[in-house]
Structure 1
Amino acid sequence: MRTVLVFKTSVRKRGKVRYLAPYLNNLINGHGRWNFDLEDCDNILRVETKNTNAMDVSGLLQKHGFLCEELH
């Protein structure tokens, strides 16, 4: 069963999404998908996954200098 995780982020540019892409792909390890909505005021990151949790995703973005807060 897939889980859908939604985050408010500080990622504002497509270049930063491209920078994060290999890290996010590695995190979900082929068992899901992710996308950013940079037109949303909260720069939403949506992750559909079977094997990743919210702390892993937020920790990854924070490690690379971005704010990331799970939305409930």
Structure 2
Amino acid sequence: MIEVFKTNVQEAEQSQMLIGKLLEHFPDSAVNFDLEDCDKILRIHASSICHKTIIELLNSHGYHCEVLP
């Protein structure tokens, strides 16, 4: 399953820190950001994904995150 989220992450350093945090919660997943996209896309490929956990994790670090339809 692949889920795509819109974020407001701007810098590569920020995205690397968040990828590390996301991998702590979803260790068997593939996580990446596309900061070139206007929506600063976060993609997560995992067998099971909890939208609420991902959104709350980014929010707790001061970032906006929402599921893209």
Q: TM-score, length-normalised on structure 2?
A: 0.91
Deviation of the 1:21 alpha carbon: 2.5
> Is 2:58 aligned against 1:64?
no
5+ residue gaps, structure 2:
none
Structure-1 separation of matches of 2:49 and 2:60: 16
Aligned to 2:25: 27
**Is the 8 Å Cα contact of residues 36 and 46 (structure 1) preserved in structure 2?**
yes
5+ residue gaps, structure 1:
none
What count of residue pairs does the alignment treat as equivalent? Answer: 69
Kindly provide the amino acid, as one letter, of the partner of residue 48 in structure 1: H
Deviation of the 1:6 alpha carbon: 0.5
Aligned to 2:36: 39
RMSD of aligned alpha carbons: 1.0
Structure-1 separation of matches of 2:30 and 2:58: 16
**Is the 8 Å Cα contact of residues 19 and 32 (structure 2) preserved in structure 1?**
no
Kindly provide the amino acid, as one letter, of the partner of residue 27 in structure 1: H
1:6 maps to which of 4, 7, 13: 4
Q: TM-score, length-normalised on structure 1?
A: 0.87
